[in-house]
Amino acid sequence: MAKVAHANPIPDKPPLHLKGGYLAVAPPGDLVEACLATPAVRALRNGRPNATIVLAAPESSAPLWDYLPRLNKVVTFPDKTSPSEIARRLKATGIEFESALAWGESAAARAFKALRINQRIGYDLGGLGASLTDPVEPPAPPYGPVPHRVRHYMHLLERLHIKTFVPENFVTPDLPERPERPRLAVAPGSDFGPSYRWPLERFEEVTRLVMEANAAEVVVVARPGHEREAHELAGRLGGEVDCTAGRLDLPGLLATLAQCSVVLASDGAVPHLAAHLGIPAAVIFGPGDPGVRRPLGRIHQILDAHVECSPCRLAKCPLDHRCMNDLPVATVSAALKEIMLP
């Protein structure tokens, strides 16, 4: 007698999906994490083309979302705003939100609960679960290498049956035409700590090589609040370069990067901002793990020395900083040359 195939078990509950066409979203507040969540926000927009999507974002990272023009609205608030005030600002839009989405615990996620939005979806992680109606199990810890952080944000969209790793979710914004004369942005500092910074004298040497070989214009940049190394490098280079560190807020920094041909940077926020805009970057990694948090895209060059103690993820090196000291100027210079070739 032929064997009868076992039927698939009946699920305990129907597959999760977004309800309604008015959606509030709480992206990560951290600047780097917001950059890494951008493909997931694009996926949400592309997967729900007719929905009204409103982001609730802190002012420290809100300017990023100006480069995603298909969002309906971005409601901003100071970084330490209470959930009740965020709820008031969302209510002032006049939109009756039907669903809400959050990846992590935040004041914005708690505001969604205060507004009594009918459906509140997010990872059952940390304190976020208490604010949700539809908690989602976060990705299981891997048995092998840790996956890239972008997958953390995409996984939640996959649970909502939204296409994730497709080209349209990685399209960068249209920018002004690049200048004919090469323009190099150099970001020697890192907001992750001193061990993430390549030696300043090597930044100086590479910058001079590029200026001589390519007749490049150079601008030294920094994330607001992390300007010390930028000022030191500009001082070493003298009047040959423009230093915007300390003069620009985040919108100004984004606008400056958008007008550059290439970015040379230590691992930190600046190369992620460049990637967010579609500007190629040569990024120097040391204690950080490029497999987890490198800027995505073939246009970028990831540079590291492959030493045995990396990635340690320590802000201060307890040893001899070999992850940075073992990376030669010639390697970085060659990577920049490859990016800048027509």
One-character DSSP codes across 109-160: HHHHHHTT-SEEEEE--TTGGGG-SEEEPPPPPPSSSPPPHHHHHHHHHHHT
Q: What residue type is 132 in one-letter code? A: L
Per-residue pLDDT of the chain (342 residues; tens, 9 = 90+): 555 556 555 556 677 889 999 999 999 999 999 999 999 999 999 999 999 999 999 999 999 999 998 999 999 999 999 999 999 999 999 999 999 999 999 999 999 999 999 999 999 988 999 999 999 999 887 777 789 999 999 999 999 999 999 999 999 998 877 778 899 999 999 999 999 999 999 999 999 999 998 888 999 999 998 999 999 999 999 888 999 999 999 999 999 999 999 999 999 999 999 999 999 999 999 999 989 999 988 999 999 998 888 898 888 888 888 998 899 999 999 999 999 875
Contacts of 312 (CB under 8 A, 6+ apart): 195, 287, 323
CA distance 226 to 239: 21
Q: Whose CA is closest to 156, among 25, 20, 60, 63?
A: 25
| pTM: predicted TM-score of the whole model, two decimal places | 0.92
CA distance 39 to 26: 14
22-170: CATH class: alpha beta
Q: 183-340: which CATH topology?
A: Rossmann fold (3.40.50)
CA distance 322 to 127: 39
> Quick one: pLDDT at residue 179?
73
> Quick one: pLDDT at residue 6?
60
Structure tokens at 268: 């930190």
- Residue 242 belongs to what H/E stretch? strand 242-243
> Quick one: pLDDT at residue 180?
81
How far are the Cα atoms of 23, 220, 240, 244 from residue 228, in angstroms, in the given order? 41, 11, 19, 12
Ranges of CATH 3.40.50.2000 domains, the chain: 22-170, 183-340
CA distance 311 to 291: 10
